Chain A
Amino acid sequence: MIAFQNVAYGYGGAELLSDVSLRLAPGSFHFLTGPSGSGKSTFLKLCYAELLPTQGEVMLFDRDVRSLSRDDVALTRRRLGVVHQDCQFLDHLPIAANVALPMAVAGYPDQPQDLSDLLAWVGLGQHANVLPPSLSGGERQRAALARAVITAPDVILADEPTGNVDWEMSLRLLTLLVELNKMGKTILVATHDMNLIRSAKAQVATRVLRIRDRRIQLAGADL
């Protein structure tokens, strides 16, 4: 699905990530951890082609991101559901329209049937017609997760999807991701929350990637 080969990335200055080589196999469930500022969000941006590697190769669905045209990038992103750390909504459209946006831009003009089920699942049933700026941080994250999964994409990348929600809601959101993984979707979740990781490990086979000294390593069994 996603493969990195000797990838390096730096925002102009020193390298933030160096010599990263890894593969997210289809149907795998990975967590990505690391200190704040270590490059978790940067790694995810490389995965959905918002950033291009300064060195090495990033392959998305077996295609080098550098070889993708602008339309190819758009079509590739439709196969990826992303929860951005800063959510990224259209603030003038209600939550329901924002969650359905990936369907709309892909050419399905009608709101999907299961939209209200999905909103209810993430606890936003009452907020369908509210504008994003008037939601709490946790509500925005839940809406972002709903938007990421609405098209049932092959790969789901989530950047701190539970950063602002209580434990009970975190488990609920995790269940959603676990169910999708059981359906064969590839999942990558960046998080600081060790309890969340433990809880996931109890339900499905997961692996933990850790960023340390600009490299990404598979964490040992100590978790």
Chain B
Amino acid sequence: MKIAQFTDILKGDAQADSVVPSTGHSAWLTLFTAGAMTFLAVFALALSLASGRLANRWSDALANTATIRIAASGDQMEAQTLRVLDILKATPGVASSRALTDDEQKALLAPWFGPDLPLDQLPIPRLIELTEADPGYDAEGLRQRLVAEAPGASLDDHTRWRKPLAEAAQKLRLLGIVSIVLILGAMAAMITLAASAALEANAQIIKVLRLVGARDTYIARAFVRRFTLRALIGAAIGAAAAMTGIALLPSADAAGGFLTGLGFQGAGWILPLLLPPLAALIAFAATRRAAFSKLRTLT
């Protein structure tokens, strides 16, 4: 029922509208508040979407792969590598494992030492990449077996440094969502204040309308419609400005830095478009509440 009233109210009724004079400053206040708050909400939304993506990427990497490094002298190296691969095959929770080839290791090291590294003549550790199954393996148990059977091998499962980052990204996403809720709450509060001020300023008009037989819904409508439309327009401007700003940010590159990854991606662009209707809905509810509670104090 309320939704029908909400869509109804946007259609308009010029006659019912004109019974309340448009009050300059509360109009601008609502327009500006809705615009500024929606602008901020779009950024908070972008922030929480970006940190959400980051959190997912980092926890995926966390969950899926780990590296075993084998440092041993020449003849031991080959034996320990084979031993570790055997151990991994027998370890429940490890989906696959393989030793990196010399070329792959060279490629990994090239950025630091250049392309012409004589790998076979250097005591470079051998790397084994393992992919985790679901459910995962017991990292501590694997570590102990490696110590016992291949003393040169050590397991690096990234957890130590990535876990806090993934957690931080998740918290950032939560903060973004909390910010959106707070911003929308502040918008509701400010629109309520503006609406109450407008109702107060028009007390005499409300009195006359009541005297000639106007029902509360008729009077409230004139105010509610006005504030809802202003909030919708203000929020649309705010959202458009913020989305333009975000679209103009340098796009995310492969390195996926957090700042350059702040934009919306794909279907994510739809979310900020939902904010103006949401702002209108908030203005509708806030003004309606303010109007009816004010009207109840009059005869």
Taking a contact as CB atoms under 8 Å apart, the answer to whether B211 and A50 are in contact is: yes
Is B213 a contact partner of A105 (Cβ separation < 8 A)? yes
Cβ-neighbour of B213 out of A97, A102, A109 (below 8 A): A102
B295 / chain A contacts, CB cutoff of 8 Å = 70
Query: Restricting to B14-35, which residues have a CB under 8 Å from any CB of A?
Result: 15-16, 18-19, 21
Across the interface, do A90 and B213 meet the contact criterion of CB distance under 8 Å?
no
Specify which chain A residues have a CB less than 8 angstroms from the CB of B209 in the assembled complex: 90, 101, 105
Q: Given the known A-B contacts A50-B299, A88-B207, A90-B208, are A105 and B18 also in contact in the complex, defined by CB atoms under 8 Å?
A: no
Bound-state CA distance A70–B16 (Å) is 19
- Beyond the given A77-B213, A104-B19, please list 5 additional residue pairs across the A-B interface where CB-CB is below 8 A: A50-B211, A70-B216, A74-B216, A75-B213, A90-B209
Quick check: A97 and B214 within 8 Å, CB to CB? Answer: no
How far is it, in angstroms, between the C-alpha of A109 and the C-alpha of B218 when the chains are bound? Answer: 12
- Docked complex Cα distance between A106 and B205 (Å): 16
Q: Is the CB of B216 within 8 A of A71?
A: yes
Report yes or no: B215 in contact with A101, Cβ–Cβ below 8 A.
Answer: no
Q: A50-B299, A101-B19, A104-B19 are in contact. Are A71 and B211 (CB under 8 A)?
A: no
Contact B208 A89 (CB under 8 A): yes
Question: Which secondary structure characterizes the binding site on chain B?
Answer: helix
A73 to B214, CA, bound (A): 9
Q: Please tell me which one of the listed residues A49, A70, A101 contacts residue B212 in the complex, with CB atoms under 8 A apart.
A: A101
What are 8 A-B residue pairs whose CB atoms fall within 8 Å in the complex? A71-B215, A101-B209, A102-B212, A105-B213, A106-B213, A109-B13, A109-B15, A109-B16
Minimum Cβ distance to chain B for residue A100 (Å): 9
Chain A interface size range: 20 to 34
Cβ of A40 within 8 Å of any chain B Cβ, yes or no, is no
**B210 engages A74 (CB within 8 Å):** yes
In angstroms, Cα B215 to Cα A104, docked, is: 11
> How far is it, in angstroms, between the C-alpha of A77 and the C-alpha of B299 when the chains are bound?
12
> Which of A51, A75, A82, A104 is close to B211, meaning CB atoms less than 8 Å apart?
A82
A102 to chain B: closest CB distance in Å?
5
Interface check A84, CB cutoff 8 A: yes
| Residues of B close to A102: CB separation below 8 A | 212-213
Cross-chain contact A88 with B211 (CB below 8 angstroms): yes
Nearest B-chain residue to A52, judged by Cβ: B299
The reply to whether B215 and A74 form a contact with Cβ atoms under 8 Å apart is yes
Q: Does A93 contact B (CB under 8 A)?
A: yes
Asked if B19 contacts A88 (CB within 8 A), the reply is no
Which chain A residue has the least Cβ–Cβ distance from B18?
Answer: A93
Measured CA separation A104–B19 after assembly (Å):
9
Residues of B within 8 A of A182 (CB): none
Q: Which of A49, A73, A90 has its CB near the most chain B CB atoms (within 10 A)?
A: A90
Kindly identify, within residues 72 to 121 of chain A, every residue whose CB is under 8 Å from any CB belonging to chain B: 73-75, 77-78, 82, 84, 88-90, 92-93, 97, 101-102, 104-106, 109
Chain A residues contacting B19 (CB-CB under 8 Å) are: 90, 93, 101, 104-105
Q: How near does chain B come to A119, taking the closest CB pair, in angstroms?
A: 17
Q: List residues of chain B with CB within 8 A of the CB of A105.
A: 19, 209, 212-215, 218
Q: How far is the CA of A133 from the CA of B295 in the complex (A)?
A: 26
